[in-house]
Amino acid sequence: MAEAIGLAAIAAIGGRMLASSAESIASVTDFVQRTTGVDITILSETTEDGRYVFRGIEKAVEAPVGRDDAIPYAWSLCSRIHLGESPATVPDTREVPALWQQWLRLKEGLGVDWDILAFCTRDVSLPDGSRFGTLCLHHTAPRAFTADEQALLEVLARLVGEEVA
């Protein structure tokens, strides 16, 4: 069962002096996974050479990717949002053709037998405004994302952007 999302829990992450960016990323992905109860939480880095690197990943389903693995950025679901082809929060990916088609291509490449049917992402921006990557929620069933969950992603994406700078 997902934990309640509270300001005290968010403040605890933001107030901790973390030893490294990797520790900050791991802490955030773990917290988001536990509080939202989604199937997969990813904190990515998009690199200048076009990779989407899984810097943090928590998953409740078997997935063939782990921390520090990478796929081409163009394969990522986030690439559709950045191209303006999909909203950042989608309760049922089948209802957004560009996102659903992107998932089907990625699914084939990953070789999994389940679907990402709900998706919510927020950019992780560095203090200079450039994008480090994304903080994303993936779920294998259609699912609405609450205003609190979306706000949580927004706040934590901003905190991570400050930590990795």
For residues 75-100, one letter each, b for 16 or more C-beta atoms within 10 angstroms of the residue's C-beta and e for the rest, the string is bbbbbbbbeeebebbbbebeebebbb
Lowest mean pLDDT among 18-32, 68-82, 142-156: 18-32
In the numeric block, the tokens 């084939």 are attached to 108
- Mean per-residue pLDDT of the chain: 89
Q: What would the pLDDT profile of 41-84 be if each residue is shown by its tens digit?
A: 999 999 999 999 999 999 999 999 999 999 999 999 999 999 99
pLDDT of amino acid 96: 98
* Entry pTM: 0.87
Q: What would the pLDDT profile of 70-82 be if each residue is shown by its tens digit?
A: 999 999 999 999 9
